[in-house]
Amino acid sequence: MTTTATIAATAHERLVLAKDASRQIGLLTDEAKAEALRAIADAVAGAADRIIAANADDLERGRANGISDGLADRLRLDLPRVHSLAAAVRDVADLPDPVGRILEERVLSNGVHLQKVAVPFGVVGSIYEARPNVTVDIAALALRSGNAVVLRGGTAAQQTNAALVAVMRAALDALGIDPEAIQTVDDFGRDGAHALMQARGLVDVLVPRGSAELIETVVTQSSVPVIETGAGVVHIVLDESAPVEWAERIIVNAKAQRPSVCNAVETVLVLRGGAERLIPPVSAALRAAGVTIHGDEEVRAFVPEAIPTTEADWSTEHMSLDVSLRIVDDLDAALAHILRYSTHHTESIITTDEKHAERFLAEVDSAVVMANASTRFTDGGEFGFGAEVGISTQKLHARGPMGLPELTSTKWLARGAGQIRP
Amino acid sequence: MTTTATIAATAHERLVLAKDASRQIGLLTDEAKAEALRAIADAVAGAADRIIAANADDLERGRANGISDGLADRLRLDLPRVHSLAAAVRDVADLPDPVGRILEERVLSNGVHLQKVAVPFGVVGSIYEARPNVTVDIAALALRSGNAVVLRGGTAAQQTNAALVAVMRAALDALGIDPEAIQTVDDFGRDGAHALMQARGLVDVLVPRGSAELIETVVTQSSVPVIETGAGVVHIVLDESAPVEWAERIIVNAKAQRPSVCNAVETVLVLRGGAERLIPPVSAALRAAGVTIHGDEEVRAFVPEAIPTTEADWSTEHMSLDVSLRIVDDLDAALAHILRYSTHHTESIITTDEKHAERFLAEVDSAVVMANASTRFTDGGEFGFGAEVGISTQKLHARGPMGLPELTSTKWLARGAGQIRP
């Protein structure tokens, strides 16, 4: 297989080509987009050897540069991983087309017929880190929603991403679709990321994926509108009325099922009236699941082996089997703690007191607010979206898990017969 | 009347107070918000003398500084204008509450009940120019949608805005609503605007209103998410099939009814096949309405008195009784011109050829795309929104005329009974 189309020489040229290509992509039918994604899936699976060879080059360079085992594992592609990448693209192909949905419709008294319809953004940019699966994921989600895509992955995965992009572009080209709809600016290093962040008018939206530092950089440096997918300092509140069984089950699930993800709980706030009844069994269940508890003096009266908390604990996303426990006076104190330390991702309360539940749901200002459920449910797949673009922690455009419809904008269509404004 | 609450000493303190107050405002009932707006309307009308006196100070200072007659007129408040300000607030009070709408709802197979509900942003910021009516408009729209508001108006209107803000704050205070929900940072000059643009985490969204330069500055300098309300280089295309009567009526309306607004047409593109039939009557109708025509050599063959166009004409928002005319080969050439020069606000085609109309509606990438209607219809009032926050020319969150619902975000509520993720 060869790289069908030459990749333009400058980042700006590539962005212009992506913008041009976005007009063709935006007008493709549902079936044409699904077919393009199936062709990409077949091409990725068919080029597994080439992709794995490029990945081996990245891994070797990484080892020479002394990258960590964790990074190497995120970077590594083997045959099962390549096939699961292709399968994920086929899943996206099967999703309903988000473009063309009529979101509002009305006929004005003068007879003008108004429709608000979903349209593609145009060009979606993404800046992300070492996982090469993001390269294929974002490209598939963008194309399925009628957008061209410009990718900027981590330097560590540069050969892998180049191979993946070449394979995807060739698959489009073979179908007569402009391959310039998929672009990478990886080979320009920091300049590529900078060009992407300053490409107002060429790139319509930028979705950073990765560490809090990466997202902060993109949000503060970009003049292209950004959808912020943020870190999760996630809280669970144990009300005085919390059933022990729910408290144990939900907190263990929320912390230990997959501690390295953004919807894992970081801080458990226990209302003082329930502390004596709830802390001993919950902390025992957590310890049985391998969790290290951090607590202040009050907590350590119940859990002597807890690590003393510091102020930093309350704003830390551990990404590990660590959880901070705190006793608070009442629901007001719990809400005040969340207001101060939450990243507004997900919070849950365990309670049988409906007034406390409804107050919590109304007053907590986070993307997802729960009563009596595990915070691990904050996920596009769990919400039934079929795919997830990311979890937005901002309030503009999209909040919480984002599916394909969140990669579309809208436009108003007005059909008249000579009407003028009086 | 006195300023009930002391205005804090630094811009940052005011932003923190606004954020605190936003929690109370966000939980107000529909009726409480409507009542607050009616109280503000009464207070503004009741304090007309004081507001007009402050305005006279601004006007006097302006005259001493040599401001233009146009600016003085935009700045001036007299008794009818103050009463129409109050009336506009009462209209907003009567609009339906956008908060609490259930936008999506589903029960997952595990029994967790999910709802996506409309919630206030929190704190809405606005940076704008000399019109003091924006001060009251934006405050009313923000409060009606459950938000606190931070205002930064033009220096020329500083005394007027200070009086309006004091009156509105006192009205809230009298109802037991935290007056800190309405803040101004006018008295900090550029530092106030800068504080507002850098207030990520305190201000949730920034809506600039004013000149293209102001909006460009805010978009490029703000790290707070911005809703861009942009300039309109608006196009009308005359297809070969355009009925002369529709062409004359729509173009005269779109240009001459109110030339100083963003939905007024700036460029008319005539398909070559229709030029001879359409240009003479349309240009005669425009001239009869006092419009100056700009045209290239081809156009001047039909309209000898047309001012020769330069390249700059095609990207100019005249804001005056001037329009640029151009003959293009076909619809493709018209679409290419629009793609190159449009600000993506509004474009319209006059045609009886349904294929051309549908192609235009599908392919033009603007907030509002029309067939056979005046571009002057791009307006929240005309669209039936009851009020308009502005006309968004960006693709994120809101596009086209924005009503109250566009001043809300969403959150997901999840209600369970102990469910965990398997």
By Cβ distance, the residue of B26, B371, B414 closest to A368 is B414
- Residue B65, SS3 per DSSP: coil
Q: Of all helices (H) and strands (E), which one includes residue B173?
A: helix B158-174
Searching chain B, which residue's CA lies closest to the CA of residue A20?
Answer: B339
- Do A295 and A324 touch, CB atoms closer than 8 A? yes
The predicted-structure confidence for B164-190, as pLDDT tens digits, reads as follows: 999 999 999 999 999 999 999 999 988
pLDDT at A1: 36
- Residue A2: pLDDT band by 50, 70, 90 thresholds? very low
**What is the CB-side half-sphere exposure of residue B287 using CA atoms within 13 A?**
14
The proportion of chain B whose per-residue pLDDT surpasses 90, expressed as a percent, equals 86
In this prediction, residues A253-269 reach a mean pLDDT of 95
- Give the model's confidence band at B71: pLDDT under 50 very low, under 70 low, under 90 confident, else very high: confident
* Mean pLDDT, rounded, for B288-296: 96
Segment A300-309, tens digit of pLDDT:
999 999 999 9
Q: Which residues of B304-337 are buried (b: 16+ CB within 10 A; e: fewer)?
A: eebeebeeebbebbbeeebbbbbbbeebeebbeb
Residue B12, CB-side half-sphere exposure with 13 Å CA sphere? 2
Question: Is the pLDDT reported for residue B200 higher than 80?
Answer: yes
Highest mean pLDDT among A216-225, A237-246, B394-403: A237-246
Question: How confident is the model over A99-116, as pLDDT tens digits?
Answer: 999 999 999 999 999 999
Among A114, A365, A420, select the one facing B383 at the smallest CB separation.
Answer: A114
List pLDDT tens digits, range B242-258. 999 999 999 999 999 99
What was the pLDDT predicted at A260? 85
* Span A294-301, average pLDDT: 94
Mean pLDDT across A263-281: 97
Q: Please name the member of B362, B366, B411 whose beta carbon is closest to the beta carbon of A369.
A: B411
Length reported for chain A = 422
pLDDT score of A5:
53
Q: Which residues in chain A are contacts of B243 at CB distance < 8 A?
A: 418
- Per-residue pLDDT band at B5 (split at 50, 70, 90): low
What pLDDT shows up at residue A391?
93
| Residue A203: alpha-carbon gap to chain centroid | 19
What share of chain A has pLDDT > 90, as a percent? 86
Which tens digits make up the pLDDT trace of B355-373?
A: 999 999 999 999 999 999 9
Which A residues, 204 through 243, put their C-beta within 8 Å of a C-beta on chain B?
A: 204-205, 219-220, 223, 225-227, 243
Nearest to A206 by CA among A56, A419, A2, A407: A407
Would the pLDDT of A3 be above 70?
no
Taking only the tens place, the pLDDT of each residue in A62-81 is: 999 999 988 898 899 999 99
Domains in chain B and their CATH numbers?
11-228+402-414 (3.40.605.10), 234-377 (3.40.309.10)
Tell me: pLDDT of A10 over 50.
yes
pLDDT digits 0-9 by tens, A377-414:
999 989 989 888 889 999 999 999 999 999 999 999 99
Which residue, B108, B149, B71, B406, is CA-closest to A395? Answer: B406
Q: Of A275, A267, A264, A266, whose CA–CA distance to A242 is shortest?
A: A275
Question: What's the gap in Å between the CA of A125 and the closest CA on chain B?
Answer: 14
CA–CA dist A291, A349 (Å, integer):
20
pLDDT tops 50 at residue B229 = yes
Chain B residue closest in CA terms to A263: B421
The reply to whether A420 touches chain B by the CB within 8 Å rule is yes
Averaged pLDDT score across all residues of chain A: 94
Neighbouring C-alpha atoms within 13 Å toward the C-beta of A117: 18
Question: Is the ipTM, as predicted for this complex, more than 0.95?
Answer: no
- Cα distances (angstroms) measured from residue A137 to each of A165, A404, B19, B199: 12, 12, 37, 33
Residue A96 has pLDDT above 60, yes or no: yes
* A37 CB-near residues (< 8 Å, 6+ apart): A89, A90, A92, A93, A140, A143, A144
| Helices and strands (H, E) in chain A, number of each type | 14, 16
Instruction: Tell me the C-alpha distance between B357 and B351, whole Å.
Output: 7
The band of A237, judged by pLDDT with boundaries at 50, 70 and 90, is very high
